[in-house]
């Protein structure tokens, strides 16, 4: 008996909140102006970063607030100002307002003192100054077109969420565009009730089946004890475990091969190779260098660790991998 195709139902959100597609969410963020806010459920800062990066459009600068473990609004704001000062130092001397042109909104005394700090390699942070003054001037120095502040807010703990919510409200009052992100729709109780008015839920297509399928078997080469040890060490690490797959192919394009690598973080484009003694001699050594070149021009960062290093100090090998991951995905401050 033939079975007719069933009509695909219209996707609904998991709550009564109005919904946004990823493209609509990206457009809303690009149109945010100073002092405006956007509240979105069903997504975190990493997911938002992928949505923004998937577009060829010019995106605004954004900073992800590092608010984990901070129990007061004061602590969140102090961390934010520290992060803004670190970004300003990294961008020195390319600051808006240094020329002091007509119509500059820069505060002269702050700009002079901040420039002196930055020129000496110190962050332009002045804890005795009013937070509102520091905040406004750091935003202006970093990006006069406007900086979007993004915060992941805990949807399940009002106590942990309150400092982030209050900090975002403070930032919006002092001229920043802010985005509050909830991994799930929070209950309509304080402090969530203050931000849920006008909130949206983001709708996304399900991840491809190859991403959702979890193979319980080891993918390390059966003949490599080192690969199995490193794979097991990464699997037990909360930060690195979800990222790497073992013995994976990397497609480099239609005109090139798809080499098989020992460890791959596909999303971050990081390759880790575990090299035995044979990799020190030609022709293997020369072939490795050429493959590193092909991976490099395809956008992959390659870390090579010798078998001896992994055998004698496995934890050090894992920490090297962690350093490379954090180079690709900085912790705390994210700005594009």
According to the model, what pLDDT value does residue 218 have? Answer: 56
According to CATH, the topology of domain 210-327 is Endonuclease; Chain A (3.40.960)
**Is the separation of the CB atoms in 274 and 224 below 8 Å?**
yes
C-alpha span between 64 and 152 (Å, rounded):
8
- Sequence spans of domains, the chain: 19-97+107-202, 210-327
Q: How far is CA 16 from the centre of its chain?
A: 29
According to the model, what pLDDT value does residue 214 have? Answer: 56
According to the model, what pLDDT value does residue 101 have? Answer: 37
**Peptide bond between residue 105 and the one before it cis (omega within 30 degrees of 0):** no
According to the model, what pLDDT value does residue 8 have? Answer: 35
**In 199-244, beta strands by DSSP E:** 200-202
According to the model, what pLDDT value does residue 215 have? Answer: 58
Please spell the DSSP secondary structure of 283-336, one letter per residue. Answer: THHHHHHHHHHHHHHTT-EEEEEEHHHHHH-HHHHHHHHHHHHHHHS-SS----
According to the model, what pLDDT value does residue 47 have? Answer: 87
Q: What pTM was computed for the model?
A: 0.59
**Burial per residue of 162-198, b for 16 or more beta-carbon CB atoms within 10 angstroms, e otherwise:** bbbbbbbbbbbebbbbbbbbbeebbeeeebbeebbee
C-alpha span between 154 and 284 (Å, rounded):
50
Residue 176: strand, helix, or coil:
coil
119: number of Cβ within 10 Å: 11
Residue 207: strand, helix, or coil:
coil
**In the chain, beta strands by DSSP E:** 19-20, 37-41, 61-64, 147-152, 177-182, 200-202, 245-249, 260-265, 270-275, 301-306
pLDDT tens for the chain, 336 residues long, are 343 433 333 344 456 899 999 989 999 998 899 899 999 999 998 888 888 877 666 567 888 888 888 899 999 999 999 999 999 999 898 887 555 433 345 678 888 999 999 999 999 999 999 999 999 999 988 887 778 999 999 999 999 999 999 999 999 999 899 999 999 999 999 999 999 989 999 987 776 776 566 555 556 555 577 888 888 888 888 889 889 988 888 888 776 778 889 899 998 999 999 988 888 888 888 888 988 998 998 899 999 999 888 888 889 999 999 999 999 876 443 433
Residue 57: strand, helix, or coil:
coil
According to the model, what pLDDT value does residue 14 have? Answer: 53
- The token duo for 28 is 């809303």
């Amino acid at each position: 008996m033939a079975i007719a195709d069933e009509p695909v139902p219209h996707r609904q959100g998991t709550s009564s909140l109005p919904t946004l597609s990823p493209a609509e969410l990206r457009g809303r963020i690009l149109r945010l102006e100073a002092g405006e806010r956007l509240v979105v459920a069903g997504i975190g800062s990493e997911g938002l970063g992928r949505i923004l990066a998937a577009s060829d459009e010019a995106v605004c600068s954004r900073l992800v607030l590092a608010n984990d473990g901070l129990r007061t609004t004061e602590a969140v704001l102090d961390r934010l100002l520290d992060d803004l000062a670190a970004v300003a130092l990294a961008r020195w001397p390319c600051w808006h307002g240094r020329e002091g042109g007509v119509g500059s909104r820069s505060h002269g005394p702050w700009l002079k003192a901040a420039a002196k700090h930055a020129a000496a390699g110190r962050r332009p942070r002045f804890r005795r100054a009013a937070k509102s003054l520091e905040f406004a001037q750091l935003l202006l120095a970093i990006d006069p077109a406007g900086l979007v502040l993004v915060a992941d807010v805990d949807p399940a703990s009002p106590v942990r969420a309150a400092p982030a919510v209050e900090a975002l409200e403070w930032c919006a009052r002092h001229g920043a565009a802010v985005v509050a992100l909830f991994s799930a729709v929070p209950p309509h109780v304080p402090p969530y009730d203050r931000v849920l008015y006008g909130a949206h839920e983001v709708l996304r297509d399900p991840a491809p089946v190859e991403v959702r399928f979890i193979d319980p078997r080891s993918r390390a080469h059966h003949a490599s004890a080192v690969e199995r040890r490193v794979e097991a060490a990464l699997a037990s690490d909360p930060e690195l475990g979800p990222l790497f797959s073992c013995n994976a192919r990397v497609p480099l394009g239609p005109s090139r091969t798809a080499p098989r690598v020992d460890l791959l973080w596909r999303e971050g484009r990081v390759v880790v190779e575990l090299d035995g003694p044979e990799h020190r001699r030609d022709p293997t050594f020369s072939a490795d260098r050429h493959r590193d070149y092909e991976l490099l021009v395809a956008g992959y960062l390659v870390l090579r660790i010798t078998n001896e290093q992994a055998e004698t100090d496995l934890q050090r090998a894992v920490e090297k991998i962690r350093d490379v991951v954090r180079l690709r995905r900085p912790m705390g401050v994210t700005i594009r």
